[in-house]
Amino acid sequence: MTVVDDSIPVITVDGPTASGKGTVAHRVADELGFHYLDSGALYRLTALASARHGIDPDDVSALAVLAETLDVRFRDQRIWLAGEDVTDAIRAEAIGNRASSIAVHKAVRQALRALQRGFKTAPGLVADGRDMGTVIFPEADLKVFLTATPQARAERRYKQLIEKGFSANIDSLMLDLEARDARDRTRAEAPLRPAEGARVLDTSGLNVDQAVAQVLEWFAQVQYPQGA
């Protein structure tokens, strides 16, 4: 049975691909001096490692074993797999689509759960993903669900890919995002949805500073409720 340390504050930031959750969560963590967990990176790391080992995306047993033994480090805003900096490699669209495909497997999600829970350490944690508030940290002090229009998300993803040197096409990205959303929302295991009690924030018309400010304001309200 998992022992929950309620003294360590947790903020979860869930949402679909390119909703801005990673950037916002990272900034919030920096502002508060908290640890940061990019849970999506763990699925991308599993996807990258499975591709390199020639493991089929439907070979659930092999994927689960691989996920349990990932040699992962997050350091200086870089992501390391078995001693190799793979920060940019895991952001390729092919790896993202593969990650979405393997994330539907219950055994893979269970294999990664303990690893994710281990990031909850003092002074606090900001975790972003798709099931942080619903499954991994249901005890979170603040649960946020970010969303944005498909057009806004496709434009953001396009900009991210171009800046990293990847080729991209807006129309293709729109189709990929829609397909990924459908998989994430309809999967049997931990479907993408706002957690109970989550604050929903549409970032379509917001810049990063505005979104971060809103999350910090909500967290302040939770930590120091009016009249307390």
16 carries a ligand binding annotation: yes
19 is in an annotated binding site: yes
143 annotated as belonging to a binding site for a ligand: no
149 appears as a binding residue in the annotation: no
Cβ(193)–Cβ(146) below 8 Å: no
Task: Please indicate if the annotation marks 22 as binding a ligand.
Answer: yes
How far apart, in Å, are the Cα atoms of 108 and each of 59, 101, 127, 194?
10, 11, 19, 22
9 labeled binding residue: no
3-state helix, strand, coil in the chain (%, to 5): 50, 15, 35
Give the integer Cα–Cα distance in Å for 142 and 10: 7
17 is in an annotated binding site: yes
Is 23 labeled as ligand-binding?
A: yes
DSSP-H helix ranges across 33-169: 39-52, 60-68, 93-102, 106-117, 150-163
Residue 25 near residue 130, CB atoms below 8 Å:
no
Contact between residue 148 and residue 174 where contact means Cβ atoms under 8 Å apart = no
Whether residue 21 is annotated as binding a ligand: the answer is yes
Q: Which residues are annotated as a binding site for ATP?
A: 15-23
Q: Which residues are annotated as a binding site?
A: 15-23
